[in-house]
Amino acid sequence: MKALAPRHASQAASHLPERTRVALAAIWRATRSVASDTLVAMQISRMASVLDGMPDTDLAKIGIARHEILGYAEQFVLDGRDGSGEPDGN
């Protein structure tokens, strides 16, 4: 069985009523948003877990106090998502 090519998918979508297309697009955007937020939360959690497993001496070498781990993990992950590829935006 041949998979649907993008042009077939767009032709099929053009047969749907406008309200259905709008509703499906809204559902898709909401699903993507939830998935993206979930991925970010998982990345922050993993980063915080790794940092929490480090000894205080190693944390001090990179300039982080134990009580700053969650904030640092959030900043690191969120700054890395700005598209620059560098956590500090450089």
| Both structure tokens of 62 | 């990179």
Nearest CA to 51 out of 39, 63, 40 is that of: 63
pLDDT tens digits along 35-79: 999 999 999 999 999 999 999 999 999 999 999 999 999 999 998
Considering only CA atoms, give the Rg of the chain. 21
Q: For residue 62, what are the contacts with CB-CB under 8 A and spacing of at least 6?
A: none
For the chain, give every domain's residue range: 32-90
Stated pTM of the model: 0.63
